[in-house]
Amino acid sequence: MDMVSIKDRGLKRPKTERSLKAGDRRFAYLILIPAMTAFMVMVFYPFVDAMSMSFFQFTIYDMEPIFIGFDNFVTVLTDPYVLASWVTTAVFVVGTTLLTMTFGLAWALLMYQDFHGRAVFRTMTLLPWILPSTVSAFVWAWMLNGKYGVVNAMLLSAGIVDENIQFLSNDVGAMVAIILTRTWISIPLFMSFFLAGLQGMDFQQIEAARLDGAGNLTIVRRLILPHLKPVFLVTGALGMIGNLQQFDIIYALTGGGPIRATTVLSIEVFKQAFENWDLGMASTIGVLWVFTLMPLVVFYLRSLFKED
Amino acid sequence: MFELRSWQAKAGFMALLLLIAFFLFFPVYWALSSAFKGNGELYQMDPTLFPNDFYLGHFMTAISEGNLLLQLKNSLLTSTSSALLNAALASLAGYSFAKFEYPAKKPLMLLILSAQMFPFGVLLISIYPMLQAVNLLDTKLGLTISYIVFALPVSTYMMYSYFKQLPNELIEAAKVDGASNLKIFYRIVMPISFPAFITVTLYAFMWSWNDLLYSMTLITSEENRTVGPGLLLRYINENNSDWGGAMAASFLAAAPVVVVFALLQKQFIGGVTSGAVK
């Protein structure tokens, strides 16, 4: 009987502001469920699981994880080989991000200029970005081939080197190879970021500066770079986050070698987990890796939310 | 923007343009031209810029030997379904964040976005045994679900910023007419948000299409193998010397998506950049 009367009331009375809001809120939570579930199952749980696994010894020889407290962390932080992968990662991340941003900015400035054929260039710029990582790795491995590679042929004929460089089998060469390839892939995206940033430029300001006798380079330095500063910070953080996580290109090109010369954190964790099957160790390095990433992500999220 | 009156300015501009254009486009050209060279021409110390005769043998063997077509099909299937699934989840969540007010909104949104902090490699350590436990290891379904990890945070944000721009009056008007929230969402909001939906789908597709780590680890059988690991296993090993084949197979693997992006690139670039840096 109660049920009926409640139902009747709901039908007869016009919905009050309050119940409408409650209905909206229910709907808002309801449509959030699928994404939240996916997030919880595929991101949050795996991360918490990895966190806790870092306190256990769990290799292929252990039937069950054995709790060992902070031992994994001690092992990682005292192992010079593992610590070296932080340095390797830093070299890769800084090198790639700097090169990408420099070329991305230069290319965006060029593509902002109105010239004949610009549309074709802009369209083609996407190419490196949409190739599957394995394909990009192939393309560069072949270009940098130690015997028949076209890069070696060019360097030789220009007289820059006397004999072929074995890019992928020496430490520096392998690092150069992965930085170049990753830069090549990332330029299109960064060009788009900078192009989007350039849309907000104040043209009258540029015209005024030009009347005052400022040249092209002065305008870039005095007006364009300051205008792009916020874009620089956000894309810089975004680029570093992406490069800190990069796995595919490095694995396909060098597999982390020669020996350990290009073993960045992603490769290290992969090898520990899926080649040595040492899940405790892999998780420990993974957790430390997350802490390495955290400041950048916090910075990025804060700048995203600043205007909201 | 630049004044290119003096010859120095013109020359500087051209030099920079050609330099970066060479870096960006020459590798693609080189791969393509290598795919059409016979082995004799391919393996000589002094490489030729154009293929002497358009040799198609590498393309033939790339298709007839190995499983390239099957792998392409698997890649397209897993990438497309995960991209659509991702876009659907992101649309729902983005709409919730953009057009409703509730106390837990900001923390929940931050939570989803913070997923970028967790490297895919770390998550994989737990995803692997998880899929194993529910018998989804080495299945296309398992891979499809795992791919959601990649793009969901940014996709949600992209849909959120798109919905945010939609005028509230649109929704209010429909509400006055007595339409339910659900109806408003799929009859009014989604149809006008179709461009954003496509952008997000393409964005997510890119992630899974480019992936090597997950597809290499979570798929172990030849029958479910996708293109990335397929190419890697076939052409990169100790004694590989089939660069012509590798280039031809790469070209075939990349072609379908290059065509799609060429057609859709304009809206795509705008959508992605507005989502990530606004």
Residue spans of the domains in chain B: they are 65-276
* Closest-CA residue of chain B to A202: B1
Domain at B65-276: CATH architecture: Orthogonal Bundle (1.10)
B91 min Cα distance to partner chain A (Å): 9
Say which range, A95-99, B44-48, B205-209, B271-275, has the weakest mean pLDDT. B271-275
Neighbours of A94 (CB within 10 A): 13
Angle CA(B242)–CA(A255)–CA(B239) in degrees, nearest 5? 30
Arithmetic mean of pLDDT, B171-180: 86
- Between B11 and B52, residue with greater pLDDT: B11
Q: Count Cα neighbours of B276 within 13 Å in the Cβ-side half-sphere.
A: 30
Q: What is the pTM of this model?
A: 0.88
Q: pLDDT averaged over consecutive 10-residue blocks of chain A (308 residues)?
A: 43 55 88 93 91 86 83 88 91 96 92 84 86 91 88 88 86 94 93 85 83 83 86 88 92 88 92 89 91 88 74
Arithmetic mean of pLDDT, B203-222: 91
Cβ contacts of B273 on chain A, cutoff 8 Å? 192-193, 195-196
- Across the interface, which of A36, A113, A132 has its CB nearest the CB of B228? A132
Arithmetic mean of pLDDT, B192-202: 88
From CA A37, how far away is CA A56, in angstroms rounded?
27
CA dihedral B13, B16, B20, B26 (to 10 degrees): 90
Confidence check: pLDDT of B75 > 70 = yes
CB contact under 8 A, A210 and B269: no
Classify residue A15 by its DSSP letter: P
Cβ contacts of A283 on chain B, cutoff 8 Å? 122, 125
H helix or E strand, kind and range, residue A57: strand A56-57
Q: What is the DSSP string of A121-135?
A: HHHHHTHHHHS-HHH
Cβ contacts of B125 on chain A, cutoff 8 Å? 46, 49-50, 53, 269, 273, 279, 282-283, 286
From CA A193, how far away is CA B273, in angstroms rounded?
6
CB contact under 8 A, A35 and B229: no
Contact A130, B257 (CB under 8 A): yes
Angle CA(B85)–CA(B90)–CA(B96) in degrees, nearest 5? 135
**Cis bond leading into A14, ω under 30°?**
no
* Residues A273-303 pLDDT 10s: 999 898 888 999 999 999 988 888 888 888 8
Contact B204, B155 (CB under 8 A): yes
A107 reaches B (C-beta below 8 A): yes
Restricting to A residues 69-98, those with a Cβ less than 8 Å away from any Cβ of B are: none
Q: What is the DSSP string of A33-47?
A: HHHHHHHIIIIIHHH
Neighbours of A308 (CB within 10 A): 10
This complex has an ipTM of: 0.87
The mean of the pLDDT values for chain B is 87
B37 min Cα distance to partner chain A (Å): 13
A67 strand-pairing partners = A56
Cβ contacts of A40 on chain B, cutoff 8 Å? none
From CA B276, how far away is CA B278, in angstroms rounded?
6
A46 reaches B (C-beta below 8 A): yes
Q: What tokens appear for A63 in the block?
A: 């039937």
Contact B121, A245 (CB under 8 A): yes
**If you classify domain A67-305 with CATH, what class do you get?**
mainly alpha
Residue B16 DSSP SS3: helix
Arithmetic mean of pLDDT, B261-274: 66
Q: Count Cα neighbours of A288 within 13 Å in the Cβ-side half-sphere.
A: 23
Helix A279-305 × helix B105-113 angle, to 10°: 130
CB contact under 8 A, B125 and A50: yes
- Position A257, amino acid: G
Sequence-separated (6 or more) residues with CB below 8 Å from residue A175: A88, A91, A92, A95, A261, A262
* Closest-CA residue of chain B to A267: B121
Confidence check: pLDDT of B271 > 70 = no
For residue A8, the model assigns a pLDDT of: 46
* Residues A72-112 pLDDT 10s: 898 888 888 888 999 999 999 999 999 999 999 999 999 88
What's the distance, Cα to Cα, between the start and end of chain B in Å?
22
